[in-house]
Copies of this chain bind each other. A is one copy, B any other.
Amino acid sequence: MAETAEGRGGGRRSRGAAGRRAERGSRGPGLSLPYITRKINTYEVLDEEGLSLIEANADLILEEIGIEFRDDPETLKLWKDAGADVRGERVHFPKGLCREILKTAPSVITQHARNASRTVEIGGKSTIFAPVYGPPFVRDLEGNRRYATIEDFRNFVKLAYMAPAIHHSGGTVCEPVDIPVNKRHLDMVYAHMRYSDKPFMGSVTAPERAEDTVEMCKILFGADFVDQNCVVINLINANSPMVFDETMLGALKVYARNNQACVVSPFILAGAMSPVTVAGTLTQILAEVLAGAALTQLIRPGAPVIFGTFAASISMQSGAPTFGTPEPSLVSYGAAQLARRLGLPFRTGGSLCGSKVPDAQAAHESAATLNTTVLAGTNFVLHAAGWLEGGLVASYEKFMIDCDQLGMQQRFAEGVDLSEQGQALEAIREVGPGSHYLGCAHTQANFQTAFYRSPLADNNSYEQWLAEGEKRIEERARVQCQSWLDSYVAPDLDPAIDEALKEFITKKKDSMPDAFT
């Protein structure tokens, strides 16, 4: 696996960026579903009064308490010039200033993929699923919990590429700790570009790594195209409460300047980084996003920016993060409403859990998070598959189990078919009282697409399940995962572009000593 797979399909003719983009849906394993355009309602937990109250309180925080932008004189000057009251590193915002500045931010972002049929619209009725982001560990197919490697990273990129209901390659699908910390971003970005043709995320761990990401995007998409279009989106976490640090600001500035999207995300473990209440947490989230997102517009008006949030809470006994509990669900629903009122695309949720193994705890916590995420009307869903153990572990088995659930959510989002075919009156007439629908014409005609078909759920008889070895779902997931990895075929990549990317990486790596911290 790994580098040797790169050559596959590379024999095709070379294409320019425009040519590649024109080739709609002509490649790939043909498994992937288009991103979700929700035909269902969003679920809301706040009424007009509640929303106005939280907005007013957020304004109050911005004006009275302020937000800190640390170790970044450039940002402080931008705020001063924009009319904010800057005291030291603390910025106080006159009422309405951030909202006014944010008027230039687009409400829908088109993030281009190198395969144009994978390009996504982030905003409005869209929902895009992306894999887990950040785990330093994996649970591998042999059942070991160990540090992640670049091979794991590539594997998760490949799995996300093959997963029908994953629409985005994500970012740090796991931390490849076998690569020096100052160089691994190059291998990560390259893996997304080479082993998938879905849209992806860039490096945010240092401004120069963000610059490298943009440079590599220019090689892949063309420099002019990148300047005018969003080709990479990037996770900018606030240091809640009410702080943005140098690292995040550095990355944010690079991406905004280059017209690439930032997901400004307060990373909230309520009770530690925000108040122990839903309304208080929402207020703080809104204030932080208003300040961070507005900053992107000061850097480049019109730069794409996403209202992000990561909602969890802590155990008041141990301080440990907890997932899938009711309060973070309420936060996610509320934050989605606040984002819609602000006219920004929204990110939250995923398939979060605290469990150490893909058991019923993991599933319940993930289900609670994911269901909320979809019904909230979330546009960009990070951590949609593979997240285990509070995000410390990327699990192969759970990745597959989550993918099945994503497929169900995608089907659910189609809503109720009220066409004549959906009404099925003819079937009811044909069958009549006391019979069954198994053989009727309508059933026969809709046999293939009638119901979502889970590739992992066991619905056989108990006796058959016994005969097949009493397998739990994670055992079936393991088999499916290995079979996907075995049958993976890389999408085509213009060999000239591939060469250029590799050359860039080699040059960059040679220019730095290895750093492991």
Contact = CB atoms under 8 A, between A and B. Distances in A.
Contacts of A448: 316
Q: How many copies does the complex hold?
A: 2
B315 A459 contact: yes
A278 B39 CA distance: 15
Contacts of A22: none
Given A45-B416, A68-B434, A428-B241, A361 B451 contact: no
Contacts of A450: 271, 276-277, 313, 316, 327
A160 interface: no
A437 B367 contact: no
A97 interface: no
Interface stretch (A101-109, A177-185, A210-218, A466-474): A466-474
Contacts of A241: 428, 431-437
A57 interface: yes
- Size category of the binding interface on chain A: 35 or more
Interface stretch (A149-157, A196-204, A418-426, A499-507): A418-426
Interface in A436-464: 436-438, 442-443, 446-448, 450-454, 456-462
Nearest to A412: B326
Contact of A458 (B327, B356, B392): B356
Interface string A402-429: 0011001101100111100111110111
A449 to B, nearest CB: 9
B457 A322 contact: yes
B272 A437 contact: yes
A60 to B, nearest CB: 7
A276 B424 contact: yes
B68 A433 contact: yes
A430 B417 CA distance: 52
A41 interface: yes
B275 A462 contact: no
Contacts of A360: 358-360, 362-363, 398, 401, 472-474
Interface string A387-408: 0011010000010010011001
A480 interface: no
A206 interface: no
Interface of A: 40-41, 43-46, 49-50, 53-54, 57, 60-61, 64-68, 90, 145, 239, 241-243, 270-284, 313-322, 324-327, 329-330, 334, 354-368, 371, 375, 389-390, 392, 398, 401, 404-405, 408-409, 411-412, 415-418, 421-425, 427-429, 431-438, 442-443, 446-448, 450-454, 456-462, 465, 470, 472-474
Given A278-B416, A368-B371, A368-B408, 6 more contacts: A49-B418, A241-B432, A282-B416, A283-B428, A320-B459, A360-B363
25 contacts: A57-B425, A61-B428, A66-B433, A243-B433, A271-B438, A275-B437, A276-B451, A277-B417, A278-B417, A279-B424, A281-B424, A283-B428, A313-B450, A315-B459, A316-B447, A317-B453, A322-B457, A329-B412, A356-B462, A357-B470, A364-B366, A364-B405, A367-B367, A368-B408, A390-B459
